[in-house]
Amino acid sequence: MARKVTPRDNYLQDAIVMRRTAEAVQADPRASQLWKDEVVNHLRAAMRLFLEREAPNGQASENHG
């Protein structure tokens, strides 16, 4: 059963999980390099957005909510 969704105070932990996921994808010997590159690029883009949300001033950037 899935966990109940709750609002986050910050997304740093989520970005860390995405980083580990990207490392796992890169280490997958069964996947094509093209697929790995595409997945990792998407994960990095999401990590960047999550980390931008956690900017030092504590405010979301104007472009990202």
Per-residue CA distances from 52 to 3, 32, 48, 62 (Å): 26, 30, 6, 10
The pLDDT of 3-16, averaged and rounded, is 90
pLDDT, tens digit, for every residue of 22-62?
Answer: 999 999 999 999 999 999 999 999 999 999 987 776 555 44
Phi first, then psi, for residue 60 (nearest 5°) are -65, 145
Q: How far is residue 4's CA from residue 21's CA, in Å, rounded to a whole number?
A: 22
Cα 47-53-59 angle, rounded to 5 deg: 170
Report pLDDT for 37.
98
